[in-house]
Structure 1
Amino acid sequence: MTGPTAATPLVSDPHSYARPAGVRVRHLTLDLTVDFASRTLAGQATWELERSSEAVAELWLDSRDLHIDAVTLDTPDGPATTWELAPADAILGQALRVQLAPGTQSISVRYRTSPGAAALQWLTPEQTAGTQPFLFTQSQAILARTWLPCQDSPGVRFTYEATVRVPPSLLALMSAENPHTRNALGEYHFQMTQPIPAYLMALAVGDLAFAPLSGRTGVYAEPATLPSAAGEFQDLEPMVATAEELYGPYRWERYDLLVLPPSFPFGGMENPRLTFVTPTILAGDRSLTSLVAHELAHSWSGNLVTNATWNDFWLNEGFTVYFERRIMEKLYGRPYADMLQVLGNTALHHTLAELGETSPDTHLRLHLAGRDPDEGLNEIAYEKGDYLLLTLEHLVGRPRLDVFIKEYFTRHSFQSMDTSSFLTYLRRELLDLEPGLEGQLQLMAWIDQPGIPAVATPVESERFAAVEAARRAWQQGAPAASLVTADWSSHEWVHFLQGLPPKMTPAQVADLDAAFGFTASGNSEILAAWFPHALAAGYAPANAALEKFLLRVGRRKFLVPLYKALLATPDGRHRAQTVYAQARPNYHSVATGTLDALVGLPA
C-alpha cells in the first residue's frame, strides 16, 4: 500500500451507507466473468477489513441492483454469515449489512450485476468502430455500487487486485497495471498498488490494440481508431513532464489513454493509469487535447488528493481546471491558455444564468444530501473553482501559489479533503501570513455565497480580440468569405460561434455555412456550437447532420444543449422525441438520466 491513508479524516458522506469509522475496507480481491450474452458480470469480491474495535460487529457496504448470492467470512470458502439488503432508495440503492464474527479480517461477497446496471455500458458491434461487442464502466459519482458491493464514498480508499475473464477475442483493461496485448485464454490479472476510492474503479472490454507514445505513456483504441488516436496524442509525454515540473512527481507509474466508442457520456474520466476519453476530441489537429491535460491533472487533483464527499467536488475540479490551463500555457503559450480561460468563463456565466444568480447551487460548497450528486457536476465546481484560484494567484503571485499547491498535493497524497479542512489549511499556510489577504480574496463569498464575487480577476484573450473584430465586421455586412480566419484554432471558431446573435436569418446562416463549412465539420466542439444557430434559424441543410450527430455521440456536454435547442423549435418536441427514441440505446445511463426528464421517454 502506498501513502498515509490511515491519516485520512473521516467525514460523513450523505451519498453512502458505509460506516467506515467502525469498519472500513482496505484491499479488494475481485474475480469476475464478463458475459456479453446476459449483459452481466458475475463472481466475487473479497474485502480485507480494518476494524476500529472488535465490538463493531457489522460491515456496511453500498449496493444498487446487485444480486447477492452469498457472503462468507475470511475466505471465499469460509463460513457463511448473516447479511441483509435494506429497502432500495432511488438514488443511493441499498445498504448491504454484513454480520462479522470476532477476529474476522475479511469477507467475500458472491454476486452478479443486473443487465441494466447503471455503470455498465454494453455495446453491440454495430455501436463500435469494429466487429466485436464492447463494455465500459463509468463509476463516478456513485455508480461503482452498481457493479461492485463497496464502500462507495470518495473518502474511502483501497488497493485492489482482480482477475477478469472475457471472450478470447477481446482485451480487458482496468484502472490498474494493464496488458498491451490479448492472450489466448481471455483471462487477465490486474493490480493497483496505490489506494483509490471506488469511483475510480474502471473496467473496459473490447477489440482493442495499443500504441506506445513513450516509455510510460501510450494509447489503447479499437484498431480502426488507433492510428488517428496515436497521432492526436503525440504530446502526451511532454504533458506529463510539464505537469511534474509544476506540481511534483507523477505517482501512478504509467499514464495511458483509452479511446472509447462515441457513446461515452463524458469528455474524459480520470481513471488512474488509464484515462478514458471520448473520440470527439480526435479533431485531426490536436486542437482539443486540453481535455487530456485536464484528465492528466486529475492524477494530482482528485486522484492523489480527493474530495471527501461530492459536496466538496470543487476541490477536485477547480484545482484540475487551473492545473490543466497551466499545463497548456507551458506547452503552447499564454495566449493559448487565455483562450481556454475565456471559454471557461463564458461557460460559467451560462451555467449561472441557467441556475439563477442567487441559487445555492452556485456556491462552491454544495449541499446535495437527498439529491443525485451528478447535479453538482457542472461548471460551478470546474470554472468557479478555477476562478477562485486564478484570483488568489493575482493576489499572492504565481510563485507563492505554486509553492502552496505543490505542498498541498505532497502533504495530502492518497488522502481525502473536505472544504472545511481545506479552508483551515489554506488559512494556516497562506492567507494568515498576510494580514487582510482573506478579506481581499473574499474567500467565504466564493465558498458559501452565490454567483461570482466582485473581486474576481477579469479574464481576456488577445487572440479572441481578433475573432470578435471579425464577427463584428460580418454583423455589419461583410461577407463571411471575406473574413481572415486561416490561422484560427478550434477555440477561436467556438468563440466566434458562441458570440453570434441568438436569432439569425436563414440567409445569414447559409452565408456562414457556405464560407466555413460548419455543417460538414468533423470537429465536435464546432458542430455543438453551430447546430443551435442552425436550429434557431430553421436552416434545413443542417438537419441531417444534427440527427447523425445525436445518433452517434453520447457526450452529455453536447447532448443536453442540443436537445434543448431542438425542443425550442416549432414541432421541436416531436423531432427531439423521434431522434431520442433511436439514439437512446446508444447513450450511457449518465446521459439518459438527464435526457429522459428533458425530452421524455421514448414511447
Structure 2
Amino acid sequence: MLSLRRTVLSSALLFALQLLPSTDANSATNTLAAEPTATVVQALTQQNQDALTYANYTEVSVSHVELALAIDFKQNRLSGEATLDLAWHKPGKQLILDTRDLTITSVTALNSTVKWQSLPFTLAKADAVKGAALTIKLADEDTQKVKIKYHTSNNPSGIQWLTPEQTQGKQLPFMFSQSQAIHARSWIPLQDTPAVRQTYSATITADKAITVVMSADRKTLSSTQTQFTMPQAIPAYLIAIAAGHLKFSPLDNISGIWAEPEILDKANKEFADTPEMIKIAAKRYGDYRWGRYDLLILPPSFPFGGMENPRLSFITPTVIAGDKSLVSLIAHELAHSWSGNLVTNATWRDLWLNEGFTTYVENRIMEDLYGRDRALMEQTIGYSELLAELAELTPGDSVLHIDLGKRSPDEAFSGVPYVKGQLFLIFLEQKFGRERFDAFVKSYFNHFAFQSITTAQFREYLSLNLLNKYPNVVSEAEVDTWIEGQGLPSFLVPPNSHAFDDIDAQRQTWLDGKLSASELKTSTWTVHQWLRFINEMPRVNLDQAKLAELNKAFHFTGTGNSEIAFAWYSLALDNGYYAVLPALKQHLTHIGRMRLIVPLYQKLASTDQYDWAKSVYLKARSGYHPQTQASLDMMFADKPLEHEHSH
C-alpha cells in the first residue's frame, strides 16, 4: 500500500529545522523555552498535513486553550466554554475547528476594541471518523481570542461516565477522558491534531463530594471548583480529565498515586518503584521536564493499559498483580514523558515515533531497575506476540510508516508501531553500540523537545547524526526496509531469552507425556516464564484432558493475574476447552481493557459460542468505554443491539 520511496524534506522545511533551537540536557529552564517560532511552526505545519483534522492550522494555530467547564453527573455531560488563543501564520478571517457530537450555543471573539463580539458559525454534517467541522467567520483579521460556549453529548467518544455501582467503592459516580487519538474533539472544540501544540488552563466545577484531576498543575479554589494549569505546550490528545471519589498518596516529593480509597494502598505498594524509574530515565535520557509525575488508577473499565497524559498517567487496575510483575506498563507510560509527550508524532501515520521509541525506552528502564534477564524476557514475549499479530494483519498494516487513508487512527494501534518500532531501535543499538546509540537518543529528545515531527524529519536527523556520522554501519536501504517495508526485515536477529530454555524444554516433556503437570519444576518461575509456558502451547488439537490437567495443577482458571488469565483463556478457546466459560464470563464482565477482552470475544464469535459471547457482551456493554463498545458493536452487529450509542 505504501510507496517505499523515501519522502524527502523540502528545502523550506530543512531551513526551518536549522532554525529550531537545540537544548541543554542539563537545563530544564532552557528546554521549556524550546518552542518553535511562528515562522518555523508555519513551515512545519505545511509539511505535517494531517488528513484526520478539519483545522486550517497552516493558516492559524491555537496556542492556548482556557476551559471553564461544569461536570454534570445527572445528565452525563460537560458544559461551559473554551477560550482559544490564536497564532496567525497567514492573514485570514476564518477559523476551522474539530468537533464530534458537541452542541455549540454561541461563539464570540475579542475584537480590536477589546470587547467580545458575537460571530457567525456553521457546524458541518458529521463524518463517521472525523466528526463535524466547526467553521467560524471572524470579523477582524488576526483575531487573537475566540470563545465557544458548548456542551458535550451524554456519551462522547472520549469520555466514559460510570454509575456508583460501576466503581470500586460503589458510592459516587466517576468520569474520565481518553482523548487519544482524535477524541479530544468530542469534549473540547479545538484543533485536534498532534501537529498543533498548545498550553492549557481550566477551571472545573463539580459537586463538593467529587475530586477532579487533570493532566496539569492542580489547585483547589473551593469545595466545588478546581483550577488547573499546563505551562508546557502539548498536543490535544494529551489534555485529560477525571473525576470521582479519589484520594492521593505520595510516593516522593514529585510523584504519587490518585485512586479510589479501596485500591489506593495496593496501588501504592505495587508502584513503589516509580520514583526510581524516573531517576533512571532522567539519568539516561535527560531531565524529567514536566514537574510532577503522578499516576491515576482508573476503574476496571478503562479501555487501555495506560495513557501517558503528562503529569498524570492514567493506569488500568489490571496491572496490580501484587508482585510488581506487570509494572513495565508504568515504565512505558513514564517513558512517554520523553518519547511522545516531549517529542510527538506530527500525524497518526507517524505513531511509531511515539510508541516504538517508548517501548524501547521502557525496556531500558526495566533492564536498569530489574536486570537484563527480565528485560530480555519482556522483549522475547513482545516479539512472539507481534509474530502472532502480523499473521492476522493486512500487509499494509505491517508497515511502521502506515498509510491510514480515511480510516480511524485508532486502527493504527497494533503491535507494529510498538514492537516493530522497538525492534528497529534495538537493531540500531546493536549496530552502533549502546554508547553511541544512547547519545543519539538523548540528543534526539533534546533537539526536538516540545515539537511534533514526522517520520521524514526523524529520517533526516538519523542520517545526519548517526548514519553519516558513523558510515558503513547501517545503510539507508536497511532503514527503508524497517520503516517503509512490510512485515519484519529478513536480516532481523530476533530477541531470545535463555531464561525460557528450561520452560520450553519442560513444556515439551509434558506434551510428550513424560511428566505430569504436577511434576513440572515451576517453583521459581516468574510471570514472564508462565506466560511463555502458556503462549507457546499448541493452538489446536491440544487434548482436553491435558488442559484439565494443567488447570488442576496450576489453577489458571480464575487467576488474579490479568495477563496469565488472558493467556490461559486464549489457549483454552483456541482448543475448544469450554470448561473455562463461567470464569471467562467473570473476566469479560469485570474489566474493560480492550487488549484483554476484545481478542477473546473475537475467538468466541468465530465458534459455536457466538450466542453465548453476545449475551455476555450485551450484559457487560454498559460498563465498557465508548471506544470498546464501538469495536465490539461491529462484531455483534448481525441484529440491532440494545442501548445503541450515538456515535
TM-score (norm 2): 0.90
Displacement of 1:567: 2.1
Which of 167, 171, 178 is 1:138 aligned to?
Answer: 178
Deviation at 1:485, TM superposition (A): 1.1
What is the distance in 2 between the residues matched to 1:197 and 1:242?
Answer: 26
In 2, Cα distance between the equivalents of 1:243 and 1:547? 40
| Cα drift, residue 240 of structure 1 | 0.4
2:195 to 155, 159, 163: 155
Deviating more after overlay: 496-505 vs 523-532: 496-505
Cross-structure match for 2:504: 468
2:315 matched to 1:277?
A: yes
Local SS of the residue matching 2:34: coil
Query: In the alignment, which of 88, 91, 108 is matched to residue 72 of structure 1?
Result: 108
Aligned to 1:158, the other structure's residue is in SS state strand
Please list every run of 5 or more consecutive structure 1 residues that lacks an aligned counterpart in the other structure. none
Residue from 143, 151, 170 that aligns with 1:104? 143
Tell whether the 8 Å contact from 1:440 to 1:455 is kept in structure 2 after alignment.
no
Of residues 156, 159, 163, the one that matches 1:117 is: 156
Whole-angstrom distance in 2 between the partners of 1:125 and 1:63:
29
1:164 aligns with 2:204: yes
Deviation at 1:535, TM superposition (A): 2.7
For each residue in 1:347-366, what CA deviation from the matched residue of structure 2 results, as whole angstroms up to 9, or x when unmatched? Answer: 1111210014xx11111111
1:371 paired to 2:411: no
**Paired letter, 2:290:** W
Give the Å deviation of 1:441.
Answer: 6.9
| Matched ranges for 1:289-368 at <5 A | 289-356=327-394, 359-368=395-404
> Would you say the 8 A contact 1:15–1:369 is kept in 2?
no
Write the distance in 2 (CA, Å) between the matches of 1:486 and 1:599. 42
* Counterpart in the other structure of 2:13: none
Q: 2:462 aligns with which of 411, 426, 429?
A: 426
* Aligned CA-pair RMSD: 1.5
- The 2-side partners of 1:103 and 1:424 are apart by 34
Distance 2:133 2:468 in 1: 43
Range 438-447 or range 21-30, more displaced: 438-447
Distance 1:90 1:428 in 2: 41
Contact 1:577 1:602 in 2 (8 A): no
Letter in 1 for 2:296: L
Q: Does 1:403 align with 2:434?
A: no
Match of 1:596 in 2: 633
Q: Which amino acid aligns with 2:349?
A: N
What SS does the aligned partner of 2:459 have?
Answer: helix
Which residue type is aligned with residue 128 of structure 2?
Answer: A
* Distance (Å, rounded) in 1 between the aligned partners of 2:466 and 2:579: 56
Shift of 1:298: 0.3
SS in 1 for 2:592: coil
Whole-Å separation in 2 of the counterparts to 1:200 and 1:331: 27
Which residue does the alignment assign to 2:34?
3
CA deviation after TM superposition for structure 1 residue 318, in Å: 0.4
Q: Which amino acid aligns with 1:64?
A: R
Aligned partner of residue 168 in structure 1, secondary structure = coil
- Asked if 2 retains the 8 angstrom alpha-carbon contact of 1:391 and 1:441, the reply is no
Alpha-carbon distance between aligned partners in 2 of 1:495 and 1:536, rounded to the nearest angstrom? 16
CA distance in 2, matches of 1:159, 1:381: 27
Segment of structure 1 superposing worse, 585-594 or 369-378: 585-594
Q: What is the CA–CA distance in structure 2 between the aligned matches of 1:89 and 1:371, rounded to whole Å?
A: 11
Distance in 1, Cα, partners of 2:606 & 2:512:
27
The reply to whether residue 23 of structure 1 matches residue 60 of structure 2 is yes
Partner letter of residue 39 of structure 1?
A: N
Deviation at 1:560, TM superposition (A): 1.7
1:456 maps to what in 2? 492
Q: How big is each residue's C-alpha offset from its partner over 1:218-269, in whole Å with a ceiling of 9 and x where there is no partner?
A: 0011000101000100100000001011101000010000000000000000
Aligned to 1:242, which of 251, 275, 280? 280
Within the alignment, does 1:126 sit opposite 2:162 as a pair? no
Of 587, 591, 595, which residue of structure 2 is paired with 1:553? 591
Alpha-carbon distance between aligned partners in 2 of 1:514 and 1:135, rounded to the nearest angstrom = 40
Structure 1 stretch 18-27 or stretch 1-10: which is displaced more?
1-10
Query: 85, 89, 96: which is aligned to 1:48?
Result: 85
Distance in 2 of aligned mates of 1:48 and 1:22: 14
How many aligned residue pairs are there? Answer: 597
Within 2, Cα distance between the matches of 1:220 and 1:18?
35
Equivalent residue letter for 2:382:
G
Find out whether 1:258 has 2:289 as its counterpart.
no
Deviations 1:389-416 (A, max 9, x none): 0111111101101000000000110001
- Tell me if structure 2 keeps the 8 A contact 1:432–1:438: no
Give, as a single letter, the amino acid of the residue that structure 2 aligns with 1:457. V
Assess if the C-alpha contact under 8 Å between 1:33 and 1:43 holds in 2: yes
The residue number in structure 1 matching 2:5 is none
Residues 295-347 of structure 1, C-alpha deviation per residue, up to 9 Å, x if partnerless?
A: 00000000000000000000000000000000000001101000110011011
Q: Do the aligned residues in 2 keep the contact of 1:196 with 1:414 (CA within 8 Å)?
A: yes
CA distance in 1, matches of 2:244, 2:107: 31
Corresponding residue of 2:249:
211
The equivalent residue for 1:194 is: 232
1:388 alignment partner, one of 418, 424, 441: 424
- Over 3 Å counting, the alpha-carbon distance change for 1:77 and 1:587 in structure 2 is farther
User: How far apart are residue 455 of structure 1 and its match?
Assistant: 1.8
One-letter amino acid of the counterpart of residue 302, structure 1: G
CA offset at residue 447 of structure 1? 1.3
SS state of the match for residue 487, structure 2?
Answer: coil
Q: Match for 2:529 among 473, 492, 503?
A: 492
Deviation at 1:88, TM superposition (A): 1.2
Q: Deviations over 1:120-140 (max 9, x none)?
A: 100001110011100000000
Preserved contact between residue 394 and residue 457 of structure 1 (Cα < 8 Å)? no
- Per the TM alignment, residue 587 of structure 1 is displaced from its structure 2 partner at its CA by 1.0
Q: 2 CA distance for matches of 1:462 and 1:540?
A: 34
Secondary structure in structure 1 of the residue aligned to 2:87: strand
Code of the aligned partner of 1:116? N
Q: TM-score, normalised by structure 1?
A: 0.97
Q: Which whole-Å CA distance do the structure 1 matches of 2:492 and 2:224 have between them?
A: 54
Distance in 1 of aligned mates of 2:477 and 2:376: 21
What displacement does 1:368 show?
1.1
Q: Which moved more, 1:44-53 or 1:308-317?
A: 44-53
Contact 2:535 2:571 in 1 (8 A): no
CA distance in structure 2 between the aligned counterparts of 1:397 and 1:154, rounded to whole angstroms: 32
Using the TM superposition, name which of 432-441 and 86-95 deviates more: 432-441
Match of 2:560 in 1: 522
The C-alpha deviation readout for 1:434-478, integer Å capped at 9, x for no partner, is 333343871101111101111212210011112111211211211
1:533 pairs with one of 563, 571, 585: 571
